[in-house]
Amino acid sequence: MTEDPAGTDGSRPELGIVIPTLNEASFLPALLEDLRALPWPHRTVLADGGSTDTTAPLARARGIRVVDAPRGRARQMNAGATALDAPWLLFIHADSRLPAEAGAALAAFLDSGPPPDLGAHFAFKLDGRGLGWRLLEVGQRVRQRVLGLVYGDQGLVVSRAAFEAVGGFPDVPVLEDVAMVERLRDGGRLVELPAAIHTSPRRYRREGPLRAWLRNATLIGRYLTGTPPERLADWYEPSTPDRADRVLLVFAKAPVPGRVKTRMAAELGAPEAARIYRRLGRLTADKVRGGPYRTVVCYDPPGEQDLVAGWLGREALEFWPQVEGGLGARLTSAFDTAFRSASRVCVIGTDAPDVNAELVLAAFDALDSSDVVMGPAEDGGYYLLGLRAHRPELFADVPWSTSRVAEHTERLAAAAGLDVAKLPVLADVDYARDVPDSVR
């Protein structure tokens, strides 16, 4: 179901959805797509705290109202709630996902006709694979059961009557979610819905799971023993990095038949191979554009900027021509240029359809503790390479277009004494059999 701004079904009270944002262009589109499928009449407001990326334009392009608010989640969520007149409100973070089962659980809760003093939240789940994330989820479930702590990452469903009765979110710099839950529980009850929303573990990745867990535990402990939130604010590091300090390079060729996807063209013909290449490139650009990093398209040949920009779009993209020479020379030049203004640089191509902004962010985060980050491809190459210092030796004498690219690059890194972090292995598209249905 798409957003129903009118709430035309009188038997179902409209739900107002508030999303506080600050430079969330890389995560927001996925959440908005989830909300489009929510089986309940709703209206969404983005409460923006001064984003400098494409967060607001992306929301407006999808018909979402954007309200400017003073920075700070409490102030932003209060401003978003004020902009709505719905009898029920859902507060959800931009880096969360609302899967179908969570949407169904929310609809069932509202359909039960809950009294105004009964609120709800979802279960806590981190959107990542691995035992470490599962252990963090267990820890939160224990804290919730023992201490009654519910975090903003779990979403909060509350009636407008209850929201206004407690005066909205307290105007504090941190732990506004915990303080709000305390206020609501003083006058009613909160129940857990039988489903989870999925939240990005980006802060845990950036700080390290153990460090982030210890920081959270310290914050909560000091808060529960009476330390005012204002004194705890310095402990809470901002989750949004300096966008200008990170550069994502996207290597792309002008999508001219006969010049791209030559191996696929031998099977399907040059025009069809070029069409698939165009589709792959646009999907990649749309998935990674607008994140908390500069996105630069490095195009070839040098005189085709207008053609490439018309294909990929100009929104939230910069364009640099590639230099002449082999791939190693072109990568070396692009990294050299990027490192003149940045301290973290990653490069991707347009052949791996599963690359997205969250994976790019995970790569940048990995560079906080590693010299090199690599995204290995199934064919032996790599779909992403990231560095925190210019290392031209990693592009020298590499057997490009072979199954030994990633292995050879790792050996070069080891010889230079560099630590290498690895992302998940992904497939890229070289032949007709590799093309997923989403690209056809």
Domain ranges, ordered by start, for the chain: 15-235, 243-434
Task: Judge whether residue 260 has pLDDT over 80.
Answer: yes
Provide the β-strand partners of residue 17: 44, 90
- Tokens 């839950």, residue? 181
Q: What's the CATH superfamily of 243-434?
A: Spore Coat Polysaccharide Biosynthesis Protein SpsA; Chain A (3.90.550.10)
Under 8 Å CB-to-CB from 157, ≥6 apart: which residues?
88, 89, 90, 106, 109, 110, 119, 120, 121, 193
What share of the chain has pLDDT > 90, as a percent? 57
- What is the arrangement of strands in the sheet containing 156-159, beginning at the earlier edge strand? 65-68, 42-48, 15-21, 88-91, 156-159, 118-126, 189-199, 96-97
Greater confidence (332 vs 150) lies with: 332
pLDDT tens digits for range 29-53 = 889 989 999 999 999 999 999 887 7
What pLDDT score does 45 carry? 97
Task: Judge whether residue 360 has pLDDT over 70.
Answer: yes
What pLDDT score does 285 carry? 93
Averaged pLDDT, 374-392? 95
Task: Judge whether residue 297 has pLDDT over 90.
Answer: yes
How many other C-beta atoms are found inside a 10 Å radius of the C-beta of residue 2? 11
Task: Judge whether residue 438 has pLDDT over 70.
Answer: yes
Task: Read off the pLDDT band of 436 (50, 70, 90).
Answer: confident
Provide the β-strand partners of residue 346: 248, 386
What pLDDT score does 208 carry? 63
pLDDT tens digits for range 221-237 = 777 777 776 676 666 55
CA dihedral 246, 133, 287, 96 (to 10 degrees): -110
Q: What's the CATH superfamily of 15-235?
A: Spore Coat Polysaccharide Biosynthesis Protein SpsA; Chain A (3.90.550.10)
Q: What is the β-pairing status of strands 118-126 and 189-199?
A: parallel
Is residue 177 within 8 Å of residue 93, measured between CB atoms? no
Provide the β-strand partners of residue 47: 20, 67
User: Out of 7-16, 149-158, 248-257, 402-411, which region has the weakest mean confidence (pLDDT)?
Assistant: 7-16
HEC-encoded secondary structure of 42-84: EEEEEEECCCCCCHHHHHHHCCCEEEECCCCHHHHHHHHHHCC
Please count the residues of the chain.
440
DSSP 325: S
What pLDDT score does 108 carry? 95
Q: Quick check: pTM over 0.75?
A: no
Is residue 120 within 8 Å of residue 190, measured between CB atoms? yes
pLDDT tens digits for range 81-98 = 999 999 999 999 998 999
Residue 331 φ/ψ region, left for φ over 0, alpha for ψ in the -120 to 50 degree band, beta for the rest: alpha
